[in-house]
């Protein structure tokens, strides 16, 4: 089934502010909330669809990727948009700020009655911290792709307690929630008296407590550490792009799930070549005799040198194209398609001449071959004009 556009789902335009997006989601969440639509599968799907749209559009990084690449650009980013199944409790847990005290009258929670049965709150699975690092790639690595190894400092599983946080491996049932991880309470709401659930504060929803905590991790199950990560960089990356490696971030406490490792790409400037999108630009400086008489030259490319024939009478501003010598497209329909290397012709005019050189140049001053006619003037002007289009 094809996913609908997230802006269309929430009923906002692409320039909507974060407040407008939040307000739109709130409105839909109230309309399709399970407590108001018991047993209604269509309302439940719309409730999930709105949550998925909000998950993306309220997150600046996800929204940028979605605006640029659509649904495909969100693969591997996690959350509801990452292609994994999710249920109602995922939504209530992720957006607890909205469902608790966020304009819902306090009557809605992630544990209310819907679908014909009482939903038991799931015990939390702790997620480790995301790691973020910046990696600089040179032009050759961007064009060809590369693999690099890095030492990443992050939280790792405590080896002394195997991540449990308990020195002897034992835990006790929480006396407050009796091991359920949540507590029940009666509350009056706009829908009448409702029974709601909230996370047990005594055990943080785990249902267990630790009496004899591990002295090395202080009961957390994680300690500061590091790992060596081998990272593959695909060809065609750009400045500011972010690679997300799921599960390569910090370890989650009490045998939770790992966070992600986010790699921010920066480009190292090349001493001779410039990048323009997927094209590479080189400025070739010719002497007056070379441009006038024509010649054979070598120009640098990312992978070495390329021979180029300069035709007699080549004008400054002429652009010669070396096809396929540019940067490949990293994603989308043209993925793998390479740009070109554009060789811009410039003419070097000497600033000082000897007496004989000056005399030789003066002999050409009044020659018709060295004076542009109207047709040539117009042609040169059109090339100049094109620079500003």
pLDDT in tens, 231-246: 999 999 999 999 999 9
Q: To the nearest whole percent, how much of the chain has pLDDT over 90?
A: 52
Q: What is the pTM of this model?
A: 0.61
**Token output for 24:** 């739109």
Q: What is the reported pLDDT for 80?
A: 59
Radius of gyration of the chain (CA): 32
Q: What is the reported pLDDT for 67?
A: 86
- pLDDT bin (cut points 50, 70, 90) of residue 92 is low
Mean pLDDT across 14-33: 89
Between residues 318 and 68, which one has the greater pLDDT? Answer: 318
> Which whole-number Å values give the CA distances from 160 to 31, 225, 256, 330, 368, in the listed order?
50, 14, 16, 43, 90
pLDDT higher than threshold 80 for residue 104: no
pLDDT higher than threshold 60 for residue 223: yes
Q: What is the reported pLDDT for 112?
A: 39
pLDDT higher than threshold 80 for residue 129: yes
Between residues 184 and 147, which one has the greater pLDDT? Answer: 147
Q: What is the reported pLDDT for 118?
A: 39
Contact between 14 and 5 under an 8 Å Cβ cutoff? The reply is no
Q: What is the reported pLDDT for 361?
A: 87
What average pLDDT does the structure give for the chain? Answer: 84
77-81, 159-163, 227-231: which has the minimum mean pLDDT? 77-81
**Token output for 69:** 């690449």
Q: What is the reported pLDDT for 388?
A: 74
pLDDT higher than threshold 60 for residue 119: no
Q: What is the reported pLDDT for 209?
A: 92
- Write out the H or E segment, with its range, that includes residue 322: strand 319-322
Tell me the HSE value of 102 on the side-chain side, using a 13 A CA sphere: 17
Q: What is the reported pLDDT for 122?
A: 58
pLDDT higher than threshold 60 for residue 304: yes
pLDDT higher than threshold 70 for residue 191: no
Between residues 153 and 187, which one has the greater pLDDT? Answer: 153
- pLDDT bin (cut points 50, 70, 90) of residue 157 is very high
Q: Measure the CA–CA gap between 78 and 203, rounded to whole angstroms.
A: 27
Q: What is the reported pLDDT for 77?
A: 62
Q: What is the reported pLDDT for 367?
A: 83
pLDDT higher than threshold 50 for residue 111: no
Q: Measure the CA–CA gap between 343 and 366, rounded to whole angstroms.
A: 32
pLDDT higher than threshold 80 for residue 150: yes
71-80, 268-277, 339-348, 358-367: which has the minimum mean pLDDT? 71-80
pLDDT higher than threshold 70 for residue 200: yes
Contact between 67 and 59 under an 8 Å Cβ cutoff? The reply is no
Between residues 76 and 347, which one has the greater pLDDT? Answer: 347
Tell me the HSE value of 106 on the side-chain side, using a 13 A CA sphere: 6
**Token output for 318:** 């002429």
Contact between 389 and 383 under an 8 Å Cβ cutoff? The reply is no
Tell me the HSE value of 57 on the side-chain side, using a 13 A CA sphere: 27
Q: What is the reported pLDDT for 29?
A: 85
Mean pLDDT across 304-319: 93
- pLDDT bin (cut points 50, 70, 90) of residue 109 is very low
Strand partners, 24: none
- Local structure of residue 128 (DSSP, 8 states): P
Start-to-end CA distance of the chain, whole Å, equals: 43
**Token output for 157:** 């599983």
pLDDT higher than threshold 70 for residue 49: yes
């Amino acid at each position: 089934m094809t996913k609908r556009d997230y802006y269309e789902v929430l009923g906002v335009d692409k320039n909507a502010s974060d407040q407008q997006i939040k307000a739109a989601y709130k409105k839909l969440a109230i309309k399709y909330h399970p407590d108001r639509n018991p047993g209604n599968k269509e309302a439940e799907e719309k409730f999930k669809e709105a949550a998925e749209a909000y998950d993306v559009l309220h997150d600046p990084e996800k929204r940028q990727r979605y605006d640029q690449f659509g649904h495909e650009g969100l693969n591997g980013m996690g959350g509801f948009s990452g292609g994994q199944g999710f249920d109602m409790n995922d939504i209530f847990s992720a957006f607890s700020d909205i469902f608790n005290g966020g304009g819902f009258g306090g009557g809605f929670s992630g544990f209310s009655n819907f679908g014909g049965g009482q939903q038991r709150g799931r015990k939390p699975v702790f997620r480790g911290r995301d790691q973020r690092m910046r990696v600089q790639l040179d032009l050759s690595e961007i064009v060809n792709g590369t693999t690099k190894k890095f030492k990443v400092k992050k939280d790792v599983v405590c080896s002394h307690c195997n991540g449990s946080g308990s020195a002897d491996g034992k835990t006790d049932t929480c006396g407050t929630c009796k091991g359920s991880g949540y507590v029940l309470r009666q509350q009056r709401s706009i829908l009448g008296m409702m029974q709601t659930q909230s996370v047990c504060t005594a055990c943080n929803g785990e249902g267990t407590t630790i009496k004899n905590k591990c002295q090395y991790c202080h009961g957390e199950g994680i300690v500061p550490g590091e790992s060596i990560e081998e990272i593959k960089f695909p060809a065609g990356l750009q400045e500011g792009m972010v690679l997300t490696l799921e599960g390569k971030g910090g370890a989650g406490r009490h045998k939770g799930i790992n966070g992600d490792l986010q790699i921010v790409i920066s480009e190292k400037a090349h001493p001779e070549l410039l990048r323009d999108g997927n094209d590479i630009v080189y400025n070739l400086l010719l002497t007056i005799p070379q441009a006038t008489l024509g010649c054979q030259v070598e120009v640098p490319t990312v992978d070495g040198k390329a021979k180029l024939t300069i035709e007699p009478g080549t004008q400054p501003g002429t652009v010669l194209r070396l096809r396929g010598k540019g940067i490949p497209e990293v994603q989308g329909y043209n993925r793998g398609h390479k740009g070109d290397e554009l060789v811009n012709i410039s003419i070097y005019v000497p600033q000082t001449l000897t007496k004989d050189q000056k005399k030789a140049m003066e002999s050409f001053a009044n020659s018709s071959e060295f004076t542009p006619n109207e047709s040539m003037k117009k042609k040169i002007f059109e090339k100049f004009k094109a620079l500003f289009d």
